[in-house]
């Protein structure tokens, strides 16, 4: 039933804080464990859902070392998009992505 699937997908789309910068962004589900985020500042990227949750937690607890990494990651995501790509941020690669 394609109609039901579409309804379910749109129910899960919503405005939430961007995991990287905290600004309001559009979140949709890319797959069971991955979010597709459209942010006016970081552009469009995918991120592991649990990693996104840990970034939000870092923001709430003012975890400065993680927040500094997020600042680099935010620029990496925007740069990738501006170059015609799309960053895929996962638990294994996120620290390396921020170093690029
Ligand atoms: Zn953002």
pLDDT at 86: 97
Cα of 48 from ligand 1 centre, angstroms: 15
pLDDT at 100: 55
- What is this structure's pTM? 0.84
Sheet harboring 14-17: ordered strands across? 14-17, 24-31, 34-39, 43-48, 88-89
* CA-based nearest residue to 21, from 69, 86, 91: 69
Cα of 26 from ligand 1 centre, angstroms: 10
Whether 99 shows a pLDDT value over 90: the answer reads no
How far is Cα 69 from Cα 32, in angstroms, rounded to an integer?
Answer: 26
How far is Cα 19 from Cα 21, in angstroms, rounded to an integer?
Answer: 6
Domain count, the chain: 1
Instruction: Compute the average pLDDT of residues 11-35.
Output: 91
For ligand 1, a single-atom ion, which residues have Cβ within 5 Å? 18, 20-21, 39, 41-42
Query: How confident is the model over 41-94, as pLDDT tens digits?
Result: 999 999 999 999 999 999 999 999 999 999 999 999 999 999 999 999 999 999
Token pair for 36: 């597709």
Whether 4 shows a pLDDT value over 50: the answer reads no
- Give me the domain span that covers residue 10: 2-99
């Amino acid at each position: 039933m394609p109609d039901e699937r579409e309804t379910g997908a749109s129910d899960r789309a919503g405005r939430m804080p961007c995991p990287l910068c905290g600004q309001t962004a559009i979140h949709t589900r890319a797959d069971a464990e991955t979010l597709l985020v459209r942010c006016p500042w970081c552009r469009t990227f995918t991120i592991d859902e649990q990693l996104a949750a840990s970034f939000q937690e870092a923001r709430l607890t003012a975890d400065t070392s993680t927040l500094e990494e997020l600042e680099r990651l935010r620029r990496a995501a925007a740069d990738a998009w501006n170059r015609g790509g799309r960053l895929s941020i996962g638990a294994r690669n996120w620290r390396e992505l921020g170093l690029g």
